[in-house]
Structure 1
């Protein structure tokens, strides 16, 4: 196990640093906007929830490139990788049209949330600015997918850390104003993120033409139109992957939309708890990406037993670290919350939610690592069904029943934002166990197929 753990850690730590750099965008936004005004902080929480749902859903489709590339790389089929990347760029162009329209015209979503007038205009401005950065985000996701697939996550990490170094000064300038720029508040951090995303996308595309590891793929050696056979293969895997991402994120997004009905203070406390959960999430996400790369490469090379072992060790590693994080959070949560906001009411609202986050994160680690391992096997449809039943059914449905005390019999401590967080935690537990059971079925199927081929190579 220790040998596999070292392999996974060797790929996971650059992914983790890069992901923490990106999630630090949200931490910096939350902390800085929280010091600008409580209204802007609430608008940021609502707007970022909507944006993340759109962004994750669309980039989830493009993430299909990673297991496809990793298996081709493990099999030594380099020239096919370049063709798959070109097809992903065409997909990104089509997906951008959908995402831009949703972000630039979000009024139906805001109406569904019954957003107060004080939040409406700030949230609308925030989303419209981010709409212009969406194309760059999709392009950079293609770059990160192929880079992770060939085991070179440091090439992503360096760019993400560089972006973080630019985030704070740009945020300061656009949020609080200065040098001829008016104070924009929450929308200012969206403007900073949009500028940075375009820089990342541009540099990423240049690196695909200059770095030696990508040269055998000949990605930009020639122009090509969409090839429907390859587009269909990516979409067969990418659409359920995108849906599973969308289900996971929208379960959180709609939770924020419903919690918005409890008022600005409660929504601000929810934003802090959600941000802490997102930071913790980066570790199992990184382990899942690293394990998925190694598993897909092993499958491409025709080694299903090694793929199964790597999968198991990656899952155990993620859950073990999540337990350690939970113990640390239990001790330090008052100090962590205080670092987000000086507002005593917001701190009071956030305190019980962060306690729930400790359990939430444990099951989050289990489900995300197992989901990534399954994607390495090019399996995505059944996991999507599991996500839908657990996260939308138990998480959102149960959260609505608890949060709004629909039956009138829910204890007071389990209503409001706490009810939504408890239900979401239960949904992640169901999803994690369901995905784990299904992974065992899929991996055993691959082992049986390999054994059959070993006995009769003609099969």
Structure 2
């Protein structure tokens, strides 16, 4: 990152941040996309099983990895304040915390996974795939959490092309291993959806080893000498990271878990409905990578400017990010409307699944505008280190408004399973409005607190 003096320079720098992040997110998401699509072509039960497994795993992973993203605003603000000598300590403690969180998930999961799946009353074939998929993923949890810490550090320095390159290198590896293990090619066992879990775990080890090498050997990261000193574990340092990271993690968890909860509620419907719901949700999540990438870039840019006490520049980046996301959302919604048939055909050749998927995709159109506002604002607020109120707003939007409304519509109207999607849309819209008001409040307070500085710009 570096300082800018006008809006044109900010736009150019912001674009250089966002594009690699977007490609990285697409690459990472493509791994889940490949899991879903390739499993779907192995059978409806395989797709449904991976859908259930993903619905359990994704909220846990995204919530906990959200805690680890506290590294981004911490490092970004240290970088903006020219205090780079403090960065290695923060990163090493982040790695320790990542390992501790991963081990906690593995231990806890060994106790709760079977009871959770049994309580869902799934078809036996679907349950077995879901269980096997999650167990397979567990072999890659520790490296995945470490990688998220390293990625947050790398991106915080504005070097987003590095993580983009790592992801692009890893994607074909994931595809090949998926192909071998799902379909049993070239002498490998035919594992179906479970094979996609092992493929992801192997890929997580691969990207982590590459990231460790780059941070240790390649400039500008090597100049910081991150691994020169392995500091002892510091509970105080963990407390600092958790103070920022826990609200971020729970905020992300509340958002992602509502989608998981909907999928779990839909387990009462037949396999075709579960598969169609997951297919449509998978593609809607794919489109979400655009505002999410802008959100990550906002955290880096806003955090850097806040660390340097340039609050007007931070506001300009906020507006730039939201406007960019809205423009892109309009294009995505338009494309989704006109290419519904083609998109549905990516996931299955089952006639019932295709028909249901097309209907679900029409509801996904309305996700776009709300996501385009909410995601960038969340990124900006993290750059300000304002995370506690965001946590409360996420809880209200998704679990107090979205899910209850969806449940009522699904069970007490003729809309059926589509009622859950209307509830999701309502929750996202409410969240976008509340977050917008919070961002305006934070920026107004900073403007009033630094009038001399603002007037001098």
Return the offset for 1:214. Answer: 1.3
Distance 1:453 1:21, change over 3 A: closer
Aligned with residue 24 of structure 1, among 4, 12, 30: 30
Matches of 1:215 and 1:26 in 2, distance apart? 32
Distance 2:292 2:85 in 1: 29
Give the aligned partner of residue 415 of structure 1.
Answer: 416
2:250 and 2:92 mapped to 1: Cα distance? 23
Contact 2:381 2:387 in 1 (8 A): yes
Given candidates 260, 275, 279, the residue that maps to 2:286 is 279
User: Could you say which residue in structure 2 is the equivalent of 1:48?
Assistant: 54
Partner of 1:448: 448
Q: Are the aligned partners of 1:40 and 1:122 in contact in 2 as well (CA < 8 Å)?
A: yes
Name the counterpart of 1:434: 434
Question: 2: distance between equivalents of 1:296 and 1:167?
Answer: 33
Matched, 1:5 2:6: no
Cα deviation, residue 195, structure 1: 0.5
218-227 vs 149-158, greater mean Cα deviation: 218-227
The residue correspondences of 1:87-236 to structure 2 (distance < 5 A) are 87-105=93-111, 106-236=113-243
Contact 1:104 1:127 in 2 (8 A): no
| Match in the other structure for 2:69 | 63
Corresponding residue of 2:317: 310
Question: Quick check: 2:447–2:454 contact (8 Å CA) kept in 1?
Answer: no
Aligned residues: 448
- Displacement of 1:140 after TM fit? 0.7
8 A Cα contact 2:297 2:379, kept in partner? no
* Matches of 1:454 and 1:309, distance apart in 2: 13
1:293 to 291, 294, 300: 300
Secondary structure at 1:404 match in 2: helix
Give 1:452 shift: 6.2
Separation in 2, partners of 1:453, 1:355: 48
Structure 1: tracts of 5 or more residues without a match: none
| Aligned: 1:364 with 2:365 | no
CA drift at 1:190: 0.6
Deviation at 1:342, TM superposition (A): 0.9
1:245 corresponds to 2:246: no
Which has the higher mean CA deviation after the structures are superposed, 382-391 or 445-454?
445-454
Q: State how far apart, in whole Å, the 2-side matches of 1:102 and 1:229 are.
A: 24
For residues 152-175 of structure 1, the C-alpha deviation after alignment (integer angstroms, 9 at most, x for no partner) is 011101110111111221111100
Rounded Cα–Cα distance in structure 1 between residues aligned with 2:348 and 2:126: 19
**TM-score after normalising by structure 1:** 0.95
Q: Shift of the alpha carbon at 1:222?
A: 1.1
Task: From the superposition, tell whether residues 364 and 109 of structure 1 become closer, same or farther in structure 2 (CA, over 3 Å).
Answer: farther
Answer whether contact 1:79 1:218 (CA < 8 A) is retained: no
CA distance in 1, matches of 2:38, 2:32: 10
Q: 1:209-235 CA distances to partner (integer Å, 9 max, x unpaired)?
A: 111111342211112112233221111
Correspondences of 1:74-89 after superposition (within 5 Å)? 74-89=80-95
Structure 2 equivalent of residue 254 of structure 1: 261
Q: Name the structure 1 match of 2:4.
A: none
Paired with 1:373 and 1:151, the residues of 2 have a C-alpha distance of 15
Could you tell me how far apart the structure 2 residues matched to 1:291 and 1:52 are?
A: 23
Distance 1:454-1:257 versus aligned 2 partners, 3 A rule? closer
- 2:405 matched to 1:398? yes
Q: Secondary structure of 1:179's match?
A: coil
The alpha carbon displacement at 1:2 in A equals: 4.6
- Kindly indicate whether residue 321 of structure 2 is the aligned counterpart of residue 341 of structure 1: no
- What displacement does 1:206 show? 1.4
Whether contact under 8 Å (2:337, 2:365) holds in the other structure is yes
Deviates more, 1:342-351 or 1:393-402: 393-402
1:314 Cα shift?
0.6
1:40 and 1:290, CA in 2 relative to 1: closer, same or farther beyond 3 A?
Answer: same
Output the TM-score relative to the length of structure 2: 0.95
| In structure 2, distance between residues paired with 1:344 and 1:58 | 38
Does residue 38 in structure 1 map to residue 39 in structure 2?
no
